[in-house]
Amino acid sequence: MLNLIKASLYKLFRDKTFLVTAIIGVVLAAFMVLINYGIGALKGETMFMSTATPGSNFGLAVPINLIVFTVGEFTYGTVRNKIIAGLSKTKIYFGLFITGLVFTFILMGAYSLLVVGSSSLISGCDIEAIGGIKFILCYIAYVICDYIFITALSVFFASLIRSIGGAISIVIILLVFLTLLPLILLGAQATISGGGLAPDHWSMWINPLYMTGFYGNNVFAIFASSGIINFFDQNVQMVCAGIIVPLIWAVAFVVGGLFIFKYSDVK
């Protein structure tokens, strides 16, 4: 299994899609820092939250790379050759999933460090402004769990459809919708009841990207508003929802994808 993952990572990082992604990532990071510096909104803490949001910004590069790689493994006969060589479909599918996880965390870790690090060096970073180390640790946990879900989702649709265009379209639309949904619900809540910035306790137990979407999309509105008290406080329900829900969805897509893959033909 380890050799399988190493070989897949080698191919993934040498793929032209990754090279293009790396260039775009550096350019986008510089653009994000410069544009926020120009409008006076550059702060390490705000860039940390907006940059790490999985369903927007550079986070969308993750499913694109994973889908291109996974579909290529099927269309170029790599998966079929592995089966002929005696590898079980379970090992092959988990190999694709684990490879995707390692790639995802390396890619997003590097991008986040680049953006947040440069922003903090230029304008500083006040972690107390976003609830201190407790909130930061909670948010990092949300982001990690969300990317596990995104990896499982990407591998599932790539292996199911085996079409780059079709799989990317479905996954990107789903991720953008799930990320923006908290903002839509918040606007509806404010319009109907005049409520403030507060999470929707029903949605957070359904939407796997709710917590990162809620905080990442509202980060600039949060700092532009006044009189917001304890916005960054994380209660047990919020922490459990932000961690458990994306992991449940990830397990569902991994199990479902493996089941479909084991009983499908590979040409």
Q: What is the pTM of this model?
A: 0.88
Give the Cα separation of 54 and 114 in Å (integer): 16
pLDDT interval class at 43 (50, 70, 90): confident
Q: How crowded is residue 98: how many other Cβ atoms within 10 Å of its Cβ?
A: 18
Question: Which run of H or E residues covers position 25?
Answer: helix 16-38
Q: Per-residue pLDDT tens for 223-235?
A: 444 444 455 666 7
Structure tokens at 202: 């029903």
For residue 264, CA distances in Å to 18, 93, 105, 170 come to: 29, 13, 30, 21
| E-strand stretches of the chain | none
Q: Per-residue pLDDT tens for 97-114?
A: 999 999 999 999 999 889
Domain boundaries, the chain: 2-262
Q: Is the dihedral of CA 69, 16, 13, 84 positive or negative?
A: positive
